[in-house]
Amino acid sequence: MRRTQEVHATGLGFPEGPVLLPDGSIAFVDLLHGKVRAYRDGALREIAKLPGAPNGMRMGTDGWLYICNNGGIAPESLERLHLAEPMIAGCLQKLALDGVFETITGDLPGGKPSRPNDLVFSPEGEIVFTDPQNWETLRADDANYLGGQLLVRAKDGEVRRLATMTGFPNGLVFHPDGSLIVGVTLEHRLVRFPWSAGRVGEMAEWVCFDDRFNPDGMVFHEGLLYVTGSTGDRVAILDVAGKLVDTIDCGPGSDPTNCCIHAGRLWITLGIRGQLVSYAL
C-alpha cells in the first residue's frame, strides 16, 4: 500500500525512541544533541538535556520515561560518529516529565564499554535491554568488536546477562505469545528467545531480511509487528508468524530508527535525516 509521509519536525540531530506521552505528545531522544524532546500540535519542547547520548526509550507504568544511554556516541552521517564531551559509562536512566532524571544502573556485566541501546519491559516488570557494546569500533576495527549482549535489570536493581549475542543486538519487543523478539542489525534478522520468569531459552532465528534491511526499533500493534529498517530506509510490517505483509518506503537516506503508534498513525524517527514523521495506518 502506498502511504503519504507527513513531516512534523526537522533539524533534530539523530532522533530515536519515539514514545507516546499521557498528554498526546510524542517524546523522543536525540543522540546527537543529548536531549529528550516532545512534539505536539506543531510545537517542540525540551524535556531534558542528559549527559552521554540517550538512545532507546520507553514509558513505564509509573509515569517515568526509562532510557538506554549509550554513553555518548551519535551518528553524524553513515560514515562519521560524534563522541560526546565528556563521555559517561553506558547506563539506564529514568526521567520524570518535569526533567528530573537519575541513573538506575551501576557497572554493567560483560566486556567494556557497554552501550545500552534499546529496552522493553518484561511481563514481570523488569527492564530487558540490548547492549551492542563497543560498536564505535565497527568498520575501523571490526576484529575487536565485542558483539553485544542481552541484559535485564531486575526490580531490585541487579543487572544480569541473559545472553551473549553477535551482530549488534538492537530493538526488541515481546511477542503476543510471550517470547522475546530481538533485532540483530548487522545480521539482517530477528531472533526469538523463549521467555519464562525472567529467563530466556535457546535463541532461534525468526525472520531473515534482505542484506540492505538492518532491523532497528520495533513495536507490536493489533497483531502486526512494525520494524524500522535503519539504513534500508524502510519499515517492514510482519504478521505474528513473521510473514512480511507490507512495507513502508521512507525515502533515500531517511534511516528510520524506531517507531510508535498513536491516533491511527505510525510515528517514525528518521535518524540521518533528523526528522519526526508519521504515516496513516
Does residue 1 have a pLDDT over 70?
A: no
Does residue 225 have a pLDDT over 80?
A: yes
pLDDT at 144: 87
Dig out the grid coordinates for 255 from the structure: 534511516
pTM of the model: 0.96
**In this predicted model, what pLDDT tens digit does every residue of 257-267 receive, in sequence order?**
999 999 999 99
**Shortest CA distance to 16 belongs to which of 249, 261, 245, 217?**
217
**Domains present along the chain, CATH in parentheses:** 6-280 (2.120.10.30)
Q: Would you place residue 158 in the very low, low, confident or very high pLDDT band (cuts 50, 70, 90)?
A: very high
Task: Tell me the C-alpha distance between 184 and 168, whole Å.
Answer: 6
**Shortest CA distance to 216 belongs to which of 246, 173, 256?**
256
Contact yes or no for 47/8 (Cβ under 8 A): no
Q: Judge if the upstream peptide bond of residue 132 is cis by omega within 30 degrees of 0.
A: no
Task: Tell me the C-alpha distance between 138 and 149, whole Å.
Answer: 16
Q: Judge if the upstream peptide bond of residue 22 is cis by omega within 30 degrees of 0.
A: no
Residue 82: which H helix or E strand, with range? strand 81-83
Torsion sign (Cα): 266, 267, 270, 275: positive
